[in-house]
Structure 1
Amino acid sequence: MNNQVFERKWSDYYQAVEGRPPRETLLMALEKFEEPQFAVDLGCGDGRDTVELLKRGWRVLGIDGEAEAIARLRSRPYIDFNRLETRVMRFQDLVLPKSVDLINASFCLPFCPPEHFSDLWNKIVSALQVGGRFCGQFFGDRDSWATYPNMSHHTRSQVEELLQPFTVEVLQEEQHPGTTALGEQKYWHIFHIVACKKSINSNHDI
């Protein structure tokens, strides 16, 4: 096991991804809603997904653990602050509102330390109302960052277990060598997910 913890220079990352379009999993989830509602953008970064939600008329709570991310989001042009609330909050301290219609977590959940992941996921599931959706990514166990002890990675069976409270609408598994936004060599193992929360009485298989 690698004892070296993962560290990211977030300022460099925000600079590298500036101007990129919203994530595909968010767009796929938004297609399934008939009208704009209330979303939490978890790990919102500089707001590539938040901005898309606002453009479509959604009310959005943007949450990120980095104050710089929230500052970059709030400095973007054409932000409707009547429909946007932001919070600087780390995963282990996360407090979510009730009855959320969509929780978007684009490429952020793997950065939750493993000892806090179960609690984080339970908060996400609890915050979503029945018929609400989760969209985002998990990193798989064959991802090259899986050796870092402060990151959370999952096997496919573990992902399927986590998604038991949901009707899974998209579950795409991706594996290939590539590079990060900062140009680092990396083997990617990713699960892309869109899932709709089932009623408590529902016992359908995913």
Structure 2
Amino acid sequence: MSDLNNYQSEGNVFERDWSAYYNAVVGRPPRETLVEALAGFDSESLNQHQTPVPHSRFAVDLGCGEGRDTVELLRGGWRVLAIDGEAEAIARLLERPDINRQLLETRVALFQDVVLPESVDLVNASFSLPFCPPKFFPSLWEKIISSLRSGGRFCGQLFGNRDSWAIYTSMNHHTTQQVEILLQPFEIEMLQEEDHPGKTAIGEEKHWHIFHIVARKK
């Protein structure tokens, strides 16, 4: 299969060969946005207790994929609810040898059907939210904000309006101003913008316009 056949734009609906994507990212480290968010929690623990203390923090990994971020959270002793719309993603996650099943709950759910728990410490959404259909994105974002406790964090990515996938009406993209409005309920700890040509994980040529976000709920 050629790279160009890995997605198509019939009716401007984005269709991904998720199996090819999962295969391409096997063994990759956790996303930098997650690492940054975890460092924020660790810093707070140090400030309060001088030394890191065991915790029972709770994270939702929204659009967990094959689990590169879920595994990092579990490794740090977090309880994790891992959610993905693709059953294959959850199956691959559960097949990993490096997961702590006692701390892990999984769920297959589309973005429009997601139900999030209350008083969550962290919602991680690495490169997943742009795949929420635009008409469902506002309610999904409100669910994320509502689920987080005060002082909880969101980390993840949103795609900008200059991204080459902005042609797909099944995906959501945002301007810088729109992202800033979305983040008003938060203290922004990281907001980095990428806007350049590049390639996808499976080798497709693509113009990336991405916002990398770590934000702490007020």
Counterpart pick for 1:130 among 150, 157, 175:
150
Per-residue deviation at 1:4? Answer: 2.1
- Secondary structure of 1:26 counterpart: helix
SS in 2 for 1:32: helix
In structure 2, C-alpha distance between the alignment counterparts of 1:56 and 1:48, rounded to whole Å: 13
Q: Which moved more, 1:72-81 or 1:141-150?
A: 72-81
Residue 18 in structure 1 maps to residue 26 in structure 2: yes
Q: What is the deviation of 1:79?
A: 1.4
| RMSD of Structure 2 on Structure 1 (CA) | 1.2
Unaligned runs of 5+ in 2: 1-9, 46-52
| Corresponding residue of 2:48 | none
Summarize deviations over 1:65-121 as a string: whole Å, max 9, x none. 000000000110031111000000000000000000000000000000000000000
Return the structure number with greater helix share. Answer: 2
Runs of 4+ in 1 over 2 A off after TM superposition: none
- 2:38 aligns with 30
Letter in 2 for 1:123: K
Q: Over residues 128-161 of structure 1, what are the superposed CA-to-partner deviations in whole Å (9 max), with x where a residue is unaligned?
A: 0000000000000000000100000000000000
Structure 1 unmatched runs, 5+: 199-206
Match of 2:61 in 1: 41
Q: Give the TM-score of the pair, scaled to structure 2.
A: 0.89
Matched to 2:94, the amino acid is R
Answering whether residue 16 of structure 2 is matched by residue 8 of structure 1, we say yes
Find the aligned partners of 2:111 and 2:37 in 1 and give their Cα distance: 23
Residue identity (%): 70
**In structure 1, what is the Cα distance between the partners aligned to 2:101 and 2:168?**
38
CA distance in 1, matches of 2:99, 2:110: 23
Q: Following the alignment from structure 2 to structure 1, what is the Cα–Cα distance between the partners of residues 182 and 59?
A: 21
Letter in 1 for 2:151: G
CA distance in 2, matches of 1:178, 1:43: 23
Q: Which residue of 1 aligns with 2:168?
A: 148
